[in-house]
């Protein structure tokens, strides 16, 4: 079976542009000889569990893309099975654009960016709003976070692809910087002790 991400993403217009720019042959091989990339393997599961945020893309009824950041502690995006992800959706600014879009069109996109290690993951699929499944709501809930879960969003994977690291700036989170600063201070104290 061909690589599903490319099968979905490489529309006729994309293929025409690839042909014009000279990359079509390479990407045809990429699609035809690659893995399906529509199930979660151990590397993917580990990466997803390490993330403290991602971007959710939906499509408005008038055809425009809409991107919304979702954040939480690492692991808040849950692997529910080898083709399904889910996360708790909390009350935010009460615009309800993403969930409104999903109620009309279930096509969705997840973009996960790890700046520290210069890795990014693109996932294409279908997302569904679940409000009345208490067992599922419990599975996606973070017991350490006291906000009310309004719903779960369940994402069925149709294809995924790692993106190249070129042009990704290296950045660290506040907690990562604090850990490094504490370690630097500890080493400076050890060095000062050795000198005296």
Mean of pLDDT over the chain? 91
User: Which pLDDT tens digit goes with each residue over 63-85?
Assistant: 999 999 998 889 999 999 999 99
Q: Where are the beta strands (DSSP E) in 37-192?
A: 53-59, 65-71, 78-81, 84-90, 107-114, 119-130, 149-163
Beta bridge partners of 81: 84
Alpha-carbon Rg of the chain, whole angstroms? 20
Q: Which residue has the higher pLDDT, 33 or 124?
A: 124
In contact, 115 and 169? CB cutoff 8 Å: yes
User: Which pLDDT tens digit goes with each residue over 148-191?
Assistant: 889 999 999 999 999 888 888 888 888 889 999 999 999 999 99
User: Which pLDDT tens digit goes with each residue over 82-101?
Assistant: 999 999 998 877 889 999 99
DSSP state of 130: E
Measured N-to-C along each axis, helices 24-33 and 12-21 cross at an angle, to the nearest 10 degrees, of 130
- Alpha carbon distance 33, 83 (integer Å): 21
Q: What is the mean pLDDT of residues 29-46?
A: 89
Buried b (16+ CB within 10 A) or exposed e, 104-141: eebebbbebbbeeeebbbbbbbebbbeeeeeebbeebb
In contact, 62 and 101? CB cutoff 8 Å: no
Looking at residue 80, its pLDDT comes to: 97
pLDDT-derived band at 1 (thresholds 50, 70, 90) equals low
pLDDT-derived band at 61 (thresholds 50, 70, 90) equals very high
Structural domains of the chain, with CATH:
1-35 (no CATH), 37-166 (2.30.110.10)
Q: What is the mean pLDDT of residues 127-143?
A: 92
Q: What is the mean pLDDT of residues 51-73?
A: 95
């Amino acid at each position: 079976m061909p690589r599903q991400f490319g099968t979905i993403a490489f529309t006729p217009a994309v293929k025409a542009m690839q042909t014009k720019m000279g990359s079509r042959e390479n990407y045809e091989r990429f699609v035809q000889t690659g893995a399906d990339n529509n199930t979660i393997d151990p590397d993917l599961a580990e990466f997803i569990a390490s993330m403290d945020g991602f971007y959710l893309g939906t499509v408005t009824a008038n055809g425009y893309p809409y991107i919304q950041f979702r954040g939480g502690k690492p692991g808040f995006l849950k692997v529910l099975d080898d083709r399904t992800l889910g996360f708790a959706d909390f009350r935010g600014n009460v615009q309800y654009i993403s969930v409104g879009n999903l109620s009309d069109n279930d096509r969705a996109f997840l973009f996960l960016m790890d700046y520290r290690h210069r890795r990014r993951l693109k996932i294409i699929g279908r997302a569904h709003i679940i409000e009345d499944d208490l067992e599922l709501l419990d599975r996606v809930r973070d017991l350490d976070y006291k906000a009310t879960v309004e719903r779960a969003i369940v994402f069925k994977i149709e294809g995924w692809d790692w993106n190249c690291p070129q042009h990704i700036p290296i950045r660290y989170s506040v907690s990562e910087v604090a850990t490094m600063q504490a370690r630097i201070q500890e080493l400076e104290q050890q060095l000062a002790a050795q000198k005296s």
